[in-house]
Amino acid sequence: MTIYLDHAATAPINDAAISALTEQVKKLGNASSVHNQGRAIRKDVEDARHLLSELVGCNPSEIIFTGSGTEANNLAIKGFYWNAIASNPKRKVIVTSAFEHHAILDPVEWLVEHEAAEQILIPITKVGVIDLDFLKDLIANRGAEIALISVMHSNNELGSLQPIAEVVKIAGDIPVHTDAVQSFGKVDFDFKQLGTTAATISAHKVGGPLGVAALILQRGLDLTPILHGGGQEREIRSGTLNAPAIVSFAAAAKSAIENRVANFKKVRELRDYFISQLKIAIPDLVINSVSDPALPGIVNATFPGTESDALLLLLDSEGISASAGSACSAGVPRPSHVLLALGISEADADASLRISIGSTNTKEEIDQVIKVFPSVVERARSAFVVNGLN
């Protein structure tokens, strides 16, 4: 029996998305072609764009399709930065939260290393949200130097929702981007109401296919492209449009939004049940994830006296899929920067796991996971001692 508890990494593709994808791949044509078949594919793409715009709360022309959330984030970070320094060479500061996804942090670091940008990280409070007072002081003192602000809508390891509307108010005329890939389809998200300059969403987080995402960018704005070619998407993003994936993305999003309230309730109940039972099974664990306002299904926990890689391997041997609270770059394990930003020690961060529950999970699966967890932790602790880590 396999139990999938890594929905924050990628969600199972839903029936609506599969049906739309299956039908669309049968159709022949390039959306940029002018013949009948090409125009038919273009219509399908534009219908999907229109549907997605209604679901996300934006104008259809504000949706720029990309190949991934990472590409969309790179386009936003680099595009806004290049625009800023072109208009004013002193605007070299990029502000992000200290616990952004690496799809944000890494392009910023690249700009720091290669183009003399300056990165400033907004600290994280003990309840897992950004320090708004720090941001206010920063903008009061150095606002004229800031090229852009990027703060994720919800954190992928803690589940905490961020005060994006407040960030927008504080930012004033400074562009604000939010990575909303974890939020869209799970919690309330409306681009227009938030007032951000740009936002990123991704299909595979809402039950759609891999390989398609979108940058939502306010009308009337241009970004310096990172891909050059046919200029298919507002001259900002080039590349043949992946019509089957785009149509499937819209279908998946529609299903997710229509069932969002019911799914939230189900997943939150499973998460709360899981935490309550896990505390009984492993009394000395520490829960790092937050309750509210938060995504419905994120559980981040530290298991003292263990190492996350061992926990993952042992869970995997039991048919349980989860993820570590640590990132791995170029094959070198390191503690999660998210947990470190929260003030957790390196040792505890390296003994943490993220369990992400989705709407396809059941109480029976949760009970099975709880049943095997004490043995998994015990074996992980034994390995920890044998390896001389204790």
Catalytic residues: 328
Quick one: which of 359, 358, 337 has its CA closest to 349? Answer: 337
Determine the Cα–Cα distance for residues 375 and 357; give it in Å rounded to an integer: 21
Q: What's the CA gap between 154 and 293, in Å, rounded?
A: 9
Strand partners, 198: 177, 217
Rg of the chain in Å (alpha carbons): 22
Answer for the pair 239, 231: CB distance below 8 angstroms, yes or no. Answer: no
> Contact at 8 Å (CB) between 252 and 13?
yes
Q: Which of 192, 137, 199 is nearest to 162 (CA)?
A: 199
Q: Omega into 293 within 30° of 0, i.e. cis?
A: yes
Angstrom CA distances, 262 to 80, 312, 358, 370, stand at 37, 30, 12, 24
Please state, as a whole number, how many other Cβ atoms lie within 10 Å of the Cβ of residue 256: 23
Tokens of 256: 């997710």
Cα(166)–Cα(132) distance, integer angstroms: 8
- The secondary structure of residue 14, as a DSSP letter, is P
